[in-house]
Chain A
């Protein structure tokens, strides 16, 4: 045991971590430079814009709190995409899974006390509401998983199609059966969830809630499941080499379905926490764009839970700080989407970054997805 913690081991671990962070950090830097050029091209001052962005994201306790609020669903959704990547699957459907998780969590949140006729204690109601959201996300993702495993339907197109179906379904429910019946309401949203289903904020006066803490715990749990359990080993083996997994006697088809369900669970959790800890209801359209952001976060974090937490805080900070940036410099918040797309571009095409900065070391290529045939 003593050996395991010797200074050399710690040193080499640190070096590996720094090495792994080199390309993502340079990718973010390069994307910010290109983004700055775009801001300058439309007549803004990039330095003022980035100063506003930074102050808005990390300049005060309130800024930190809002950044954590933004980062929470990003951590869950980023983990969702990363788990699928580890299993050799590309889940573009986090958005739909998240929306359905939010809808079902809200449904349990507002309807259960009335349906039962008595108030539930929070210790039962919160887990039930969150649990239903998680279940909805898991089942929604398991469908494309099963189609992939048993019928060979490629999960990329199927998860995208499931997004549109989820969007239509959500719109159908929020405009119909689940619409907030209060006379002043004109928008597609559910009624507010019961007080007993609400996750409290971490401290008074700030919006940051226990969901952020939960996201950090779940990130640790995902790491533990993927690297320390049998099922995690199976997921990673199927992801790295399905043929080898089959020869080793693993049930590849079931593991594919399981991986997608695991992934959808995390995306559903993102939606459930947004409802139970932040918005206290689900509103149509709030989840737009989370799916794509989640992919960028998973790749920026190199599909490692720790990396994803850092990437989610960065992206959350950008989204949060963008409001102040727009206030100070009149640059629309949408520029953040451009910068995030550039981050993804440079992370995905790390060869560009290696070329620009003359980085010699080359890591092993990780197979993320396969073509239609496989």
Chain B
């Protein structure tokens, strides 16, 4: 991705941070505010980063996926459900239940992606319609099961929302429990710092680097791009287009599933209907803004993360917001930034993007 766009991204993030530092300056020192903003930005950008990677795997292989939102929602629900089962019915400890939950979330994402692949690769259904089917199906299934299992007197939990095994621990806490209090120096230096993130957030960053390597430096990546750019040429040299597309859509589903796990296993220990709240679509915009590259998508996800972090931090400093700005109902205005930014990005004002040439086209042999 060209330097200009990274510069633009850096500029937006600096502006967002500055506003928070200015408003919060009477209550806290700038360094502390910036540190907390960075930590929050990385954390809340996690589902966006993973959603964008999900879209990237699908679209680089030539399959448009607007079902990321639904995949994440379903993964959030089923991962959470699995962790509850392991914890309160099988009697596992909290941490193994949570890790098991993450595994099930990824599995859910993968299964929904398999459905998308069947629809778009085998049956050659219009891919945007196929994604819409995934979204509606996910809303329906999670809403139905959530009510049926937890809000019904005859359900397994007798009409109560059960006790969930909490959320995944942050890096500092994890290291602390691994060395049994034997490495206080390391723990102290990590705790409270920017890298004291929870595991899915850290994994997301590693996956960005991994995807970049896979896409541009391996045979698999070359084949993946080939079926996304010119499937007929790829077919001619003996690449199995259908199989390549199936595999990458499913990998994309695993990524979306991990992103879904963030909501119920890492961020909060509960599920709410529609809780992904458009993050899957914003992730798609991040992927487009990042011009279908992993690092670009991550940078764009951080911009959206920063605007959300700003909203969260302004909530903390809301007494310090000058009354002139309070009239503008600043939380509503800031809440709109990701959506408006997404639309601006799509217009191409901020630089032209080029999708893979065969994106969205079924391949007919």
Interface residues of A (CB under 8 A from B): 42-43, 90, 92, 144, 147, 151-154, 156-158, 160-165, 168, 171-172, 176, 289, 292, 295-296, 299, 330-332, 334-335, 337-342, 344-345, 348-349, 351-352, 367-373
Contacts and interface: CB of A to CB of B under 8 A. Distances in A.
Contacts of B136: 292, 295-296, 337, 340-341, 344
B272 interface: no
A368 B126 contact: yes
Contact of A348 (B125, B140, B143, B152): B125
Nearest to A151: B347
Interface range on chain B (Cβ under 8 Å from partner): 35 or more
A43 B123 CA distance: 33
A34 B329 CA distance: 47
A337 B332 contact: no
A362 to B, nearest CB: 13
Contacts of A342: 137
Contact of B339 (A161, A330, A340): A161
Interface in B107-136: 119, 123-130, 132-133, 135-136
Given A158-B346, A334-B147, 6 more contacts: A152-B347, A153-B347, A158-B343, A332-B152, A342-B137, A372-B359
Interface in B140-158: 140-141, 143-145, 147-148, 151-152, 154
Contacts of B64: 371-372
Contacts of A43: 154
Contacts of B129: 299, 348, 368-369
A334 B140 contact: yes
Interface string B54-81: 0000000000101000000000000000
A154 B329 CA distance: 30
Contacts of B284: 157
A110 B339 CA distance: 31
A341 B131 CA distance: 12
A299 B151 CA distance: 33
B320 interface: no
B355 interface: yes
A74 to B, nearest CB: 15
A292 B278 contact: no
15 contacts: A42-B148, A151-B347, A156-B128, A157-B281, A162-B339, A162-B343, A292-B132, A338-B144, A368-B128, A369-B126, A371-B127, A371-B355, A371-B360, A372-B288, A373-B357
Given A152-B348, A165-B336, A349 B288 contact: no
Contacts of B332: 168, 171-172
A274 to B, nearest CB: 21
Contacts of A296: 136
Contacts of B135: 292
Nearest to B359: A371
B49 to A, nearest CB: 18
B44 interface: no
Given A295-B132, A349-B123, A372 B360 contact: yes
A228 B189 CA distance: 74
B245 to A, nearest CB: 14
A348 B133 contact: yes
Interface in B26-75: 64, 66
Contacts, number: 144
Given A168-B335, A296-B136, A335 B144 contact: yes
B313 interface: no
A330 B141 CA distance: 17
B139 A292 contact: yes
Contact of A338 (B132, B141, B349, B359): B141
Nearest to B128: A369
B347 to A, nearest CB: 4
Given A372-B288, A373-B359, A338 B137 contact: yes
Given A153-B343, A158-B346, A332-B147, A372 B355 contact: yes
Mostly helix, strand, loop or mixed at chain A's interface? Answer: helix
Mostly helix, strand, loop or mixed at chain B's interface? Answer: helix
A348 B361 CA distance: 16
Contact of A345 (B133, B139, B147, B340): B133
B227 interface: no
Nearest to A332: B147
Interface in B317-360: 329, 332, 335-336, 339-340, 342-343, 346-349, 355, 357, 359-360
A367 B2 CA distance: 35
Contact of B137 (A160, A289, A341, A369): A341
B285 interface: yes
Chain A CB count within 10 A is highest, among B145, B148, B152, for B148
A156 B141 CA distance: 23
A104 to B, nearest CB: 18
Given A151-B347, A152-B348, A369-B129, A337 B281 contact: no
A172 B361 CA distance: 41
Contacts of B348: 151-153
B147 to A, nearest CB: 4
B358 to A, nearest CB: 9
Contacts of B152: 330, 332
The 4 closest A-B pairs by CB, nearest first: A371-B360, A337-B140, A153-B346, A334-B144
B116 to A, nearest CB: 11
A122 to B, nearest CB: 35
Nearest to A366: B126
A349 B144 contact: no
Contacts of B359: 371-373
Nearest to B149: A42
A77 to B, nearest CB: 14
Given A172-B329, A372-B64, A344 B361 contact: no
Contacts of B66: 156-157
Contacts of B281: 157, 160-161
A344 B133 contact: yes
B336 A90 contact: no
Contacts of B124: 351
B154 A373 contact: no
Contacts of A161: 278, 281, 285, 339-340, 342-343
Contacts of B148: 42, 331-332, 334-335
Chain A CB count within 10 A is highest, among B126, B346, B359, for B346
Contacts of A371: 64, 127, 355, 359-361
